[in-house]
A and B are shown apart, each in its own frame.
Chain A
Amino acid sequence: MADAPPMFEARDLARHFDVSRPLLQRMVAREGRRTLKAVDGISFDIPKGRTLSLVGESGCGKSTVARLAVGLYTPTAGSVRFDGRDLGAARASADQRRRMQMIFQDPYASLNPRWRVKNIVAEPIRAFGLVTTKAEEEMRVAELLTQVGLSPLDGDKFPHEFSGGQRQRISIARALSSNPEFLVCDEPTSALDVSVQAQILNLMKELQQRLGLTFLFISHNLAVVRQVSDRIGVMYLGRLAELAPAESLFRRPRHPYTRALMEAIPDLEMTGRDRIPVGGEVPSPITPPSGCAFHPRCPLAQDRCKRERPEMKSAGGAMVACHAVEEGRDDAMPMPAIARDAA
C-alpha cells in the first residue's frame, strides 16, 4: 500500500452548506441558520497509479468529495493535497488543473449537444495550449478517439448520434486529452446498461494500466467497486465508516454499516433467497443523529454510540470508526453472506 508516495491526500476534509431559509422566513418562524454537513472530516490518500473508491447511499457525501477533489468546491475545513501541493486555499494553477480531470455520471448532460465531438475532445487541448498547430490537434483527437474505442471519423458527429456508452467514451477521451495523471470518476457507469458498463469498466482499467493513471472512483455499486478498486472507503452521512484494502473489506467487513450494506445488495446468487434489508431510513444530513450517525439503525448500538462520535481507528488492516469494533463487540453481528462464502 505504501509502495508509492500518495498522489492525492485528503486530510480532515469538510464541506458544509448553508441551507437556511431566507432571513425573513427565519425571523417569522424564529429559527436559526441550518447547516448541511455534506462532508464532515474525512481523510484518505491514494498512491500513484492506484484506485480508491468511495461507496455509500445517496446523500452520504461521496459526490461532494469528488467535487472537492478537483477543486469544484473549496473545502470548509481540512485540506486536499495533490502531488504534495495544497489545493485548498488558492485557485489551482493551470498545471494542476491539467493534471486532474473528471468524468461525470450522466453522459447525456455532460457533453455540449451543439458541439461536434472533435471540438468537445479538443477543448482541454486548446484551453491548456498543449499543441501549436491545427494538424497536431487533429492528430491528437484522432488518437484519443481511437484510444477509447471510437473511430477518428466519429469526431465530425454530434453527441446525439451516439448511445450512452459511446458518449461515456467521448467523456473519457475528453478527460484524457490534457494528459492527466489523476481522474475523478463520479458514478461513471451508473447511467449505463450492464453490458455497456462492462465495456467502460474494462476500458478504464486498460487505460489505467497503460497510462499509469490514479483514480478516485465514486459509486453506489459495491460489485462495480470490487472490480476496480485497490482501497475502498465506505461513507455514511458525510463521514467515513470504514476504509480498507478492497479484498479485505469484502472478506472481513468490520463496520456494522458495511456489513448491513453488503447483506442488502441483491445478487445473482440470490435466486429464491430473501435478503436482509437494513432497517430504517438514511437520516437527514441536516439533523444527523447524535454520536455515531449510524446508531439508530445499528444492531450493536449502545449508550456510548449515542453520546460519543467514533473516530477512525485501526482495526486489523482496516480503519474503522465504530465503538463496537474498538471494544471487540462486533462479533455479535454476523458477517454478510458474501464474506462468509469467501471464508
Chain B
Amino acid sequence: MSNAAPLLEVRNLRVEFPTRRGTLVALDDVSFSISPGEVLGVVGESGAGKSMTGAAIIGLLEPPGRIAKGQILLDGRRIDNLRYEQMRRIRGKEIGAIFQDPLTTLNPLYTVGRQLTETMTTHLPIGPAEARRRAIEWLEMVGIPAAAQRIDSYPHEFSGGMRQRVVIALALCAEPRLIVADEPTTALDVSIQAQVIALLKRLAREKGTAMMLVTHDMGVIAETADRVAVMYAGRVAEIGPVREVVKHANHPYSAGLMASIPPLDRRVERLAQIDGAMPRLSAIPRGCAYNPRCPKVFSRCADERPDLLDAGTTRAACWLYALEAPHG
C-alpha cells in the first residue's frame, strides 16, 4: 500500500497565529504522507493540532492563522500557496471534507438532493439529470433507506445519524481522491458509528480514496486506520502502522495515551493516567514538549527538541531512540 507514490505529502508544516502578545506556533514541523487507498489516523488530545492540520490541508485555516513554513503537496503539486479561487476548485473536486457537526455542514434551506446535484454539476462533467441519478445512488450507498423519495427532503427531516451520512455522501459525490474527515463519527451513537465507519473503509478499499481521519476515539482508529500519527502540542510525536502504535507504542506519550483508555474486556482497579495536562501554545516547554510529564525523561530532553527518529517499528520524536542514547 505504502509503496505507491503518496497522494498527499505534508512537509515541515508550520502554522502560526500572530497575536498581540507574540506569535503562537500551533503546528511545528509536521510531516507525513498518505498514499492512495490508505487511511491515516491522526490522534491526540484537544489542542494538539489534529484539526488544525486538517484545516491547513483543505485551505481553511481560520485567520489570523497562516502557514509560515513548509509545503503541502497533492499529487506532487503544491496546494498550500494557491489563491482562494484555485483552492476552492480543488476543494470538493480533489479533496472532500467531512466535519464533526452534520448540522452546520448542510445548508438548511436546500434539499439534500439539490446540495448533492449542485456539488456534482460544479465539479464533474455531467448534467443535472445524470447528477440526480447519481445523487440517489450515493444516498443509497451511504445507507439512506428509500433514497429516491428522501432526496427531496430538507436536512432537518433527517435524524442526526442520517444527516452525517448525507454529509459523507456530499463529501464523496464529486469523487475526490483525498478525504479529510475531522471527527466524522463523534456525534453519532455506536450502532450508527459502526455503519459510517464500515462505509468509509469500503470506499478507501474499493475506490482507492486516501483518507486522513482525525479523531480522539482510539477504537475508531484501531479498526479503520492503516497508519496512525500521534500529535502532541502541535507536533507529531509518533507515526507508524496502527497495530504497532496502538499495541507497542515507542514514544512515552503515545504509550501513556493508549494505556489510559479504559479497556472493554476487563476491569482494572485503577486506570493508568498521565498526570498534568498538555501545555498551552503560549507555554510550550523547551526541548521535548512532553518532558515535564514524561516518566522516561533525561537531561537531553529538556534542552534539545527531538525530530522523528527511527524507533524500529515506528518513527518517534523521542531522544530514547537517538543512536547515541544514554545507557541504563
Query: How many angstroms between the C-alpha atoms of A313 and B91 in the bound complex?
Result: 56
Main secondary structure of the interface of A (DSSP, over half): helix
Q: Does the CB pair A194–B219 fall under 8 Å? A: no
Which residues of A (188-247) have their CB < 8 Å from a CB of B? 193-199, 201-202, 205, 220-224, 226-227, 246-247
Q: Does the CB pair B264–A195 fall under 8 Å? A: no
Q: Does the CB pair B192–A281 fall under 8 Å? A: yes
A57 and B271 contact, Cβ closer than 8 Å, known pairs A197-B260, A270-B222, A273-B223: no
Which residues of B (244-290) have their CB < 8 Å from a CB of A? 246-247, 256-258, 260-268, 270-275, 277
Please tell me if A131 contacts chain B, counting CB pairs below 8 Å.
no
The minimal Cβ–Cβ distance linking A106 to chain B, given in whole angstroms, is: 14
Query: How many angstroms between the C-alpha atoms of A301 and B162 in the bound complex?
Result: 25
Q: Does the CB pair A276–B223 fall under 8 Å? A: no
Q: Does the CB pair A198–B262 fall under 8 Å? A: yes
Query: How many angstroms between the C-alpha atoms of A260 and B257 in the bound complex?
Result: 28
The minimal Cβ–Cβ distance linking B163 to chain A, given in whole angstroms, is: 12
Interface residues, chain A, CB within 8 Å of chain B?
Answer: 57-58, 163-166, 193-199, 201-202, 205, 220-224, 226-227, 246-247, 250, 260-262, 264-278, 281-282, 338, 341-342
| Further 9 A-B residue pairs, CB within 8 A, beyond A195-B257, A264-B190 | A194-B216, A196-B45, A202-B273, A250-B265, A266-B190, A266-B220, A272-B243, A278-B190, A341-B265
A residues in contact with B195, CB < 8 Å: 277
Q: Does the CB pair A271–B270 fall under 8 Å? A: no
Q: Does the CB pair B260–A195 fall under 8 Å? A: yes
> Which one of B190, B217, B243, B260 contacts A220 once the chains associate, using CB atoms below 8 Å?
B190
Please tell me if B194 contacts chain A, counting CB pairs below 8 Å.
yes
Q: Does the CB pair B261–A194 fall under 8 Å? A: yes
Instruction: Please name the 10 residue pairs, one residue from A and one from B, whose CB atoms are nearest each other, closest first.
Output: A266-B219, A277-B194, A278-B191, A198-B260, A57-B189, A198-B271, A193-B45, A198-B273, A223-B264, A270-B223
B residues in contact with A205, CB < 8 Å: 270
Interface residues on B, range: 35 or more
B residues in contact with A250, CB < 8 Å: 265
A residues in contact with B198, CB < 8 Å: 274-275, 277
Q: Does the CB pair B197–A266 fall under 8 Å? A: yes
Interface residues, chain B, CB within 8 Å of chain A?
Answer: 45-46, 159-162, 189-195, 197-198, 201, 216-220, 222-223, 242-243, 246-247, 256-258, 260-268, 270-275, 277
> Which one of B192, B270, B277 contacts A202 once the chains associate, using CB atoms below 8 Å?
B270
Q: Does the CB pair B189–A58 fall under 8 Å? A: yes
The minimal Cβ–Cβ distance linking A109 to chain B, given in whole angstroms, is: 16
The minimal Cβ–Cβ distance linking A262 to chain B, given in whole angstroms, is: 8
Q: Does the CB pair B45–A57 fall under 8 Å? A: no
The minimal Cβ–Cβ distance linking A184 to chain B, given in whole angstroms, is: 20
Query: How many angstroms between the C-alpha atoms of A196 and B261 in the bound complex?
Result: 10
In the complex formed, the residue of A with least CB distance to B258 is A268
Q: Does the CB pair A266–B222 fall under 8 Å? A: yes
> Which one of A58, A199, A276, A341 contacts B194 once the chains associate, using CB atoms below 8 Å?
A276
Q: Does the CB pair A193–B262 fall under 8 Å? A: no
A282 and B262 contact, Cβ closer than 8 Å, known pairs A195-B45, A266-B217: no
Query: How many angstroms between the C-alpha atoms of A250 and B253 in the bound complex?
Result: 30
The minimal Cβ–Cβ distance linking A261 to chain B, given in whole angstroms, is: 7
Q: Does the CB pair A269–B265 fall under 8 Å? A: yes
Q: Does the CB pair A166–B277 fall under 8 Å? A: yes
In the complex formed, the residue of A with least CB distance to B48 is A193
The minimal Cβ–Cβ distance linking A93 to chain B, given in whole angstroms, is: 37
Q: Does the CB pair A268–B222 fall under 8 Å? A: yes
A residues in contact with B267, CB < 8 Å: 226-227, 246-247
Q: Does the CB pair B271–A201 fall under 8 Å? A: yes
The minimal Cβ–Cβ distance linking B148 to chain A, given in whole angstroms, is: 18
Report which residue of B161, B264, B277 has the largest number of chain A beta carbons within 10 angstroms of its beta carbon.
Answer: B264
The minimal Cβ–Cβ distance linking B280 to chain A, given in whole angstroms, is: 9
Query: How many angstroms between the C-alpha atoms of A278 and B46 in the bound complex?
Result: 29
Q: Does the CB pair A195–B194 fall under 8 Å? A: no
B residues in contact with A267, CB < 8 Å: 219, 222-223, 264-265
Q: Does the CB pair B159–A281 fall under 8 Å? A: yes
A194 and B223 contact, Cβ closer than 8 Å, known pairs A223-B262, A268-B246, A276-B194: no
B residues in contact with A282, CB < 8 Å: 189, 191
Sample (9) of A-B pairs whose CB atoms are under 8 Å apart: A196-B277, A220-B190, A223-B263, A224-B262, A268-B246, A275-B194, A278-B190, A281-B161, A342-B265
The minimal Cβ–Cβ distance linking B305 to chain A, given in whole angstroms, is: 22
The minimal Cβ–Cβ distance linking A60 to chain B, given in whole angstroms, is: 9
Query: How many angstroms between the C-alpha atoms of A247 and B268 in the bound complex?
Result: 12
Query: How many angstroms between the C-alpha atoms of A202 and B273 in the bound complex?
Result: 8
A residues in contact with B222, CB < 8 Å: 266-271
Query: How many angstroms between the C-alpha atoms of A268 and B260 in the bound complex?
Result: 12
A residues in contact with B275, CB < 8 Å: 199
Query: How many angstroms between the C-alpha atoms of A246 and B190 in the bound complex?
Result: 20
Query: How many angstroms between the C-alpha atoms of A261 and B190 in the bound complex?
Result: 7
Q: Does the CB pair A277–B218 fall under 8 Å? A: no
The minimal Cβ–Cβ distance linking A230 to chain B, given in whole angstroms, is: 11
